[in-house]
Amino acid sequence: MPSYLHFTSMTLGDKSARSLSRIGIMGGTFDPIHFGHLRMAQELATVLDLAEVRFIPSATPPHRDQPITSARQRAEMVTLAIADNPVFKLDTRELEREGYSYTIDTLQSLHEELQGQARLYLLMGLDAFVGIASWHRWQELLQLTHIVVATRPGATLPAGNPILDEFLQTHQVSSLQQLHAQAQNGIYMHGITALDISATHIRHQLHTGQSPRYQLPQCVLAYIEQYSLYR
């Protein structure tokens, strides 16, 4: 093949792959949403060059106690928290589904909606990743998305866990270039600013009459106070 033709086809190939937008999927209970979630989404959106991050509150989380506040209230708190960021979007598909909010179902429904026009990056903290082998149909997740894991204070990878070790050995990539070269199927670990904030601690503070101020957006705290949540 003449060298100019080879060059042209490579350029077109790169362009078409890059023109697919990258969408970050930020699932959570968000009971309530706080700066740990928002900062993680912001830092990963920057490093991955994401066109958008979808915040997807789970209606019925599969692996934990059920939320204190209603799905509608959690969605409203997310709406308030992300209102000033055009990259952040609320996605209510899990709230509209019956039954447990399994991530595999969410990824499948996103694929149906996006029709191959975007690549998915499932964002999660290290504490969530450590439990991933207990997720519903977890071995199919990477057929639909990349997984990007952010550090979280207090969370570490357990030593000598054969399932997680093999999952990482098979799928972990060490560079962003490698990650973006694949359509899905990669795991990428990224260190973010350590914010030792959790919704559990915020709920405890509210329940015991302490102020959780400066751990979550003021507009979310105002909403919590307006409806006397978590008392």
Ligand X SMILES: Nc1ncnc2c1ncn2[C@@H]1O[C@H](COP(=O)(O)OP(=O)(O)OP(=O)(O)O)[C@@H](O)[C@H]1O
Return residues touching ligand NCN (CB under 6 A).
27-29, 58, 61-64, 101-104, 128, 135-136
Give least dist CB 49 to ligand NCN, A.
23
Q: How far is the CB of 75 from ligand X (least distance, A)?
A: 13
CA distance 180 to 184: 8
Identify the residue among 200, 204, 207, 225 touching ligand X (CB under 6 A): 200
Residues 71-100 as x/- pattern, contact with ligand X by CB under 6 A: ------------------------------
What's the distance, Cα to Cα, between the start and end of the chain in Å?
A: 72
Interatomic CA distance for residues 136 and 140, integer angstroms: 9
Asked if residue 25 binds ligand X (CB under 6 A), the reply is: no
CB 173 within 8 A of CB 186: yes
Q: Does position 30 bind ligand X by CB under 6 A? A: yes
User: At closest approach, how far in Å is the CB of 76 from ligand X?
Assistant: 15
- 152 binding partner (options ligand X, ligand NCN, none; Cβ < 5 to 8 Å by kind): ligand X
Max alpha carbon distance in the chain (Å)?
Answer: 74
Residues in a beta bridge with 24: 53, 121
Q: Which of 143, 132, 137 is nearest to 167 (CA)?
A: 132
Q: Which position among 22, 23, 25, 31 is part of the footprint of ligand X (CB under 6 A)? A: 31
**Choosing among ligand NCN, ligand X, none, which partner's interface includes residue 58 (Cβ < 5 to 8 Å by kind)?**
ligand NCN
State the binding partner of 136 from ligand NCN, ligand X, none, CB within 5 to 8 A by kind.
ligand NCN
The residue range among 23-31, 81-89, 158-166, 216-224 that interacts with ligand X, by the rule CB under 6 A, is 23-31
Q: Binding to ligand X by residue 198, rule CB under 6 A?
A: yes
Q: Does 195 bind ligand X (CB under 6 A)?
A: yes
Classified as helix, coil or strand, 32 is coil
Residues in the chain: 231
Q: Minimal distance in Å, beta carbon 37 to ligand NCN?
A: 10
Q: Contact 59/27 with Cβ under 8 angstroms?
A: no
* Buried-state track 23-61, b at ≥16 Cβ within 10 A, e below 16: bbbbbbbbbbbbbbbbbbbbbbbeebebebbbbbbbbeb
Query: Rule CB under 6 A: which residues touch ligand X?
Result: 28-31, 36-37, 40, 124-125, 127-128, 150, 152, 195, 197-200
